[in-house]
């Protein structure tokens, strides 16, 4: 190993860490598991409550899945497209998410939801807070795969100063505690080709949605 885990763990805010390259050795198990999930519950462009279609395509794995439609944002046990339960969270997803949370100081993270976001070139995710979960004492664990992106990470008001973090294939961000409700977003994805994932960025966001 070139660097120790400590050197790859970079604090970005109180209780928020970038784990640089954390997933790099696991692409060969993560990517087939990701493909299986997408086969069972296909990626789709959901509508926001005010009627816009999201540029990011989404699906979920785990007991609960995050959905949005005219009725609002919420967690659902069923995929509204297939009407089936969401595919189970692959054990490699869970293991790596729990281990990333531990590395960032969150000992007992047990995710019950894994949202999968696929960004095509030109797509973005506007500044928002993750606040559809029952208990904000649990952190968010976020995996980056494929094309690079700029992640804006702010404070707990929309106006608070932001830092811009470059996220590459294999990086993980964990935020919780004092940063749990920080605003964040992904800037427009630039054209490119990733050797494993082509013209896409995938983000896997692990959360504890229920109390
Ligand atoms: C999100 O905020 O839900 C996704 C962030 C990302 O794509 O890295
Ligand atoms: Fe988010």
The CATH number of residue 101's host domain is: 2.60.120.590
Does residue 153 sit within a domain?
yes
Those residues of the chain that have pLDDT short of 70 are 1-6
Residue 52, both tokens? 């816009």
Phi-psi region of 100 (alpha: psi -120 to 50; beta: other; left: phi over 0): alpha
Number of structural domains found in the chain: 1
59 lines ligand 1 (CB under 6 A): no
| Residue 2 domain flag | no
| DSSP symbol at 27 | H
Q: What is the pLDDT of residue 5?
A: 61
Number of the ligand closest to the Cα of 132: 2
The answer to whether residue 16 is domain-embedded is no
CA distances from 111 to 19, 31, 57, 127 (A): 18, 19, 21, 23
* Ligand 1 atom with the shortest distance to the CA of 185: 2
- Res 79: pLDDT: 98
Task: Give a yes or no: residue 193 inside a domain.
Answer: yes
Best mutation site among 125, 127, 153, 174 for ligand 1 pocket (most ligand atoms within 8 Å of CB): 125
Residue 34 within a domain: yes
- Does 68 fall in a domain? yes
182 lines ligand 1 (CB under 6 A): no
pTM of the complete model: 0.96
- 3-class secondary-structure state, position 188: coil
Is 124 a domain residue?
Answer: yes
The whole domain housing 105 covers 21-207
* Predicted pLDDT of residue 1: 40
Best residue for ligand 1 mutational test, from 132, 141, 202, 205 (most atoms within 8 Å of Cβ): 205
Q: Using alpha carbons, select from 60, 61, 77, 81 the residue that is nearest to residue 69.
A: 81
> 142 CB under 6 A from ligand 1?
yes
What distance in angstroms lies between residue 20's CA and the mean position of ligand 2's atoms? 19
Length of the chain, in residues: 211
Q: Tell me, what's the pLDDT at 6? A: 67
The closest of 140, 164, 139 to 151, measured between CA atoms, is: 164
Residue 205 Cβ < 6 Å to ligand 1:
yes
**168 is a domain residue:** yes
Q: Which two tokens stand for residue 47?
A: 């509508």
Question: Distance (Å, rounded) from C-alpha 208 to C-alpha 94?
Answer: 12
Cα–chain-centroid distance for residue 44?
Answer: 16
């Amino acid at each position: 190993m070139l660097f120790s885990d400590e050197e790859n763990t970079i604090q970005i805010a109180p209780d928020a860490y970038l784990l640089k390259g954390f997933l790099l050795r696991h692409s060969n198990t993560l990517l087939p598991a990701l493909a299986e999930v997408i086969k069972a519950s296909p990626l789709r462009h959901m509508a926001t409550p005010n009627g816009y279609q999201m540029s990011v395509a989404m699906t979920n794995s785990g007991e609960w899945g995050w959905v949005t439609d005219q009725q609002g944002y919420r967690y659902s046990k069923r995929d509204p497209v297939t009407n089936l339960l969401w595919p189970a969270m692959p054990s490699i997803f869970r293991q790596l998410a729990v281990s990333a949370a531990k590395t960032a100081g969150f000992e007992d993270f047990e995710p019950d939801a894994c949202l999968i976001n696929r960004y095509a070139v030109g797509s973005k995710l506007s500044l928002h807070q993750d606040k559809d979960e029952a208990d904000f004492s649990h952190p968010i664990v976020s995996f980056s795969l494929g094309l690079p992106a700029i992640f804006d990470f702010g404070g707990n008001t929309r106006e608070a100063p932001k830092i811009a973090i470059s996220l590459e294939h294999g990086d993980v961000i964990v935020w919780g505690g004092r940063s749990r409700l920080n605003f964040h977003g992904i800037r427009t994805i630039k054209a490119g080709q990733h050797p494993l994932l082509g013209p896409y960025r995938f983000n896997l966001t692990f959360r504890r949605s229920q109390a």
